[in-house]
Structure 1
């Protein structure tokens, strides 16, 4: 463990130096020039950074603090002792009589609808971060790759953290994506990585885009933060999303803590057939920027969701809690509030309207 921490410390130091020299492509590029001027005119951009709706004590926690937290000695239970069970699905031929969701672990999802294929926060490079080895994916969660994806009609990105915006994955997918929908400022990273600016749509909270065939995507508020280097944080926006596909409504939380915005979204855009809600990577060190298990269930109630599927767990260890604690704690909290939970295995398709997946696949320690 001592040598692992030493390696990670050296990697973090090298990353800091590389960031200063501008030599690491995966760091991306924050908005500047005319792009930055446009952001500075937005009501939620103040004092040189994007702001949450409600000011919280840890709203501007520096990335350095989180890296130091990641490098210290941590419990063995934060990672599974065995490879996770998974299902191999042919995504290119998968039928979708109604919106069909395939989860790849953490927050990566493919949603197949009659209106097109939607890919959300894909990360298929088996680690989260600019330097391989910092945050490794669990065994069993590494079987899906960019080459397995069908043509992507819409790429949706929630924010620019490495476990949601992955340079190596997007580099491979770039030519197979028809359109990318991202929060304000995040398009700068994609353009830097070679995306056609004409294929990128940036949205502020409560802005929307309508696509052919009856698909509509709305960016909605989230309580979180952004940034890909230690020194520059909150230069791009973070968002949750409402996805309207024909008669169906889905909600994707991205990352974010609990707040009154869930009720507001539920009142304005609900009810939802499915809420894909963050559940995992919480810590007392950042209590306002991630949902606790009880808060995940309450957020589903606030959203008027008929079904809840937990995301942001099952692939990476980014906090000190046991890897399967999020789902173990969520289930009784959701039952108490009368919320039904869908918990598929990685790669296992779920089609709206069918009974939720309830097999307890995570309890094998």
Structure 2
């Protein structure tokens, strides 16, 4: 049965996933904690990663292809597409946490300072989890004019942290917003959850985003477990020149809310993707697998499934064309 791509569903104050989903709630906590205590995988790099550095002068020259990607880390991406600049899920803080003292810590510093970013046309916030939505980073943009595009309910936090209401566009699944005269952003369902604490779980929405310019069409997948809806999204909005899909933070205790490389590669194919960019890996320790496992597994799968990968080094602005690009930056830290 096709997934409904237009409009989310709620039960009381809580948003619902497009299909029945195990969100790895409190009942699984004892098992998860025990696995973390006994884990022997290299979930944190033994060698310090980086430093990675971005030369801001590169942004003075537009990409010849019209599409250039700078991976800040995790799901934070500076996208230059058809004359516009879009920043996704900006997290510059050292920890993906409510605290500066504990919680998942970055493996490497953000490769470019916020002050060195070029002027932006839009900021996308997919959902309210700490590794995608960082209070300190958002507050930096409070006195600027860049507009925000986000899922339903997330505007509450944006306003609380100083973003003017007229700069915020909240979007339900299937909504389309314009960025300038010749670009659109459309939200699509994902299979995930939301919440920034023990209470108020799923009271804001979670989304992926189709970004369509006058030449390129790309997909920012944010967080999602596998579901058949990727094929429906591909039919409705594809094909895509580039898909940006999460490959990290998967585990046996939460198979429905993160894909890992196996399902992410399937999602790319279902979406009718051209190049596939792996995101949501190599930046924070959020699971039990080795920090490098997702990308190395994905490379194996890409050969088997004939998928063209796009895996740039953090902080290195990299032009996108039809050719695969695998920097292999992680190998020297093994």
The normalised TM-score by structure 2 is 0.90
* Structure 1 segment 95-174 matched on structure 2, within 5 A: 95-97=62-64, 98-132=66-100, 133-139=102-108, 141-174=109-142
* CA distance in 1: counterparts of 2:317 and 2:323, whole angstroms: 12
SS at match of 1:327: helix
**Contact 1:118 1:155 (8 Å CA) reproduced:** yes
**Contact 1:129 1:163 (8 Å CA) reproduced:** yes
Q: Deviations over 1:290-340 (max 9, x none)?
A: 012111111110000010000000110100100000000011112211110
**Residue number in structure 2 paired with 1:357:** 325
Out of 12, 23, 37, the position equivalent to 1:59 is 23
**Residue number in structure 2 paired with 1:12:** none
**Contact 1:257 1:290 (8 Å CA) reproduced:** yes
**Contact 1:123 1:165 (8 Å CA) reproduced:** yes
SS at match of 2:257: coil
* CA distance in 2: counterparts of 1:138 and 1:310, whole angstroms: 17
**Residue number in structure 1 paired with 2:203:** 235
Structure ranking higher in strand proportion: 2
How far apart are 1:92 and its partner, in Å?
A: 4.4
Distance 1:105 1:69, change over 3 A: farther
**Residue number in structure 1 paired with 2:4:** none
Distance 1:295 1:177, change over 3 A: farther
Moved over 3 A (4+): 62-76
How far apart are 1:116 and its partner, in Å?
A: 1.8
How far apart are 1:174 and its partner, in Å?
A: 2.5
**Residue number in structure 2 paired with 1:314:** 282
* CA distance in 2: counterparts of 1:121 and 1:167, whole angstroms: 11
Out of 243, 253, 262, the position equivalent to 2:230 is 262
**Residue number in structure 2 paired with 1:80:** 45
Out of 313, 318, 330, the position equivalent to 1:345 is 313
**Residue number in structure 2 paired with 1:330:** 298
**Residue number in structure 2 paired with 1:226:** 194
Unaligned runs of 5+ in 1: 1-41
* CA distance in 1: counterparts of 2:104 and 2:256, whole angstroms: 22
* CA distance in 2: counterparts of 1:335 and 1:60, whole angstroms: 32
How far apart are 1:114 and its partner, in Å?
A: 3.4
How far apart are 1:196 and its partner, in Å?
A: 0.5
* CA distance in 2: counterparts of 1:112 and 1:269, whole angstroms: 20
* CA distance in 2: counterparts of 1:64 and 1:177, whole angstroms: 43
**Residue number in structure 2 paired with 1:286:** 254
* CA distance in 1: counterparts of 2:83 and 2:49, whole angstroms: 32
SS at match of 2:158: helix
How far apart are 1:183 and its partner, in Å?
A: 0.4
Distance 1:110 1:54, change over 3 A: same
Unaligned runs of 5+ in 2: 1-6
The normalised TM-score by structure 1 is 0.83
> What is the root-mean-square deviation of aligned Cα atoms in Å?
2.1
Aligned length: 322
